[in-house]
Each structure stands twice: as C-alpha cells, then as structure tokens.
Amino acid sequence: MGACFEAPTTPFGYNELGVAGALRQRPVELVQGVSVPEKAIARAEIVIEGELLPGVRVREDQHTNSGHAMPEFPGYCGRR
C-alpha cells in the first residue's frame, strides 16, 4: 500500500508507510532483514533482499560463461 503513494500525493522523502498506517488505522509492522541491514514489511508475501552497488556491473552469465543473457528474464528464447 505504501508503494502506491508517489508524487504529487507525497513529496520526495515523505514517509509513505506512515500514510499507509494512517489509512489502516494501525502501524505498518516492520522486521529486520535477513541478509541486509534494512527493514522489511512484516508478513509480506515476498521480500527480495540485495544490494545495488553504484558503478558495479556483473555479467548475467557470470556462473555459466555461456555468453548469453538469461532468456526468461527479458522474455525471449536464447540459443538451444
């Protein structure tokens, strides 16, 4: 629910989870992340944890060295 609040509804840096909690009339519960030191919404169906490092690129085929991208991600079929 909090992800739905964007400009101009809430200005940059505004607490969207506070708005979501106000609509629900109770706080949005948060839990500590498992692999990163960040909070996640408790009882979320899916939480994806990770890091995006500025200026760092990783090849999609870094483990297979096939020279091909993962075809299921962009929606096309690679070489067979």
31 is a domain residue = yes
29 is a domain residue = yes
6 is a domain residue = yes
36-65 in b/e burial notation, b at 16+ Cβ within 10 A?
A: eeeebbeeeeeeeeeeeeeeeeeeeeeeee
pTM of the complete model: 0.58
Q: What is the pLDDT along the chain (80 residues), one digit of tens a residue?
A: 655 666 677 777 888 888 889 889 999 999 999 999 999 999 999 999 998 899 988 877 777 777 766 666 665 665 55
58 is a domain residue = no
Give pLDDT, residue 68: 67
Q: Which residues contact 44 (CB under 8 A, 6 or more apart)?
A: none
Count of domains observed in the chain = 1
Catalytic amino acids?
A: 72
Residue 23: which domain range?
Answer: 2-41
Q: How far apart are the first and last CA of the chain?
A: 41
- CA nearest neighbour of 32 among 49, 15, 45: 49
Give pLDDT, residue 36: 92
35 is a domain residue = yes
75 is a domain residue = no
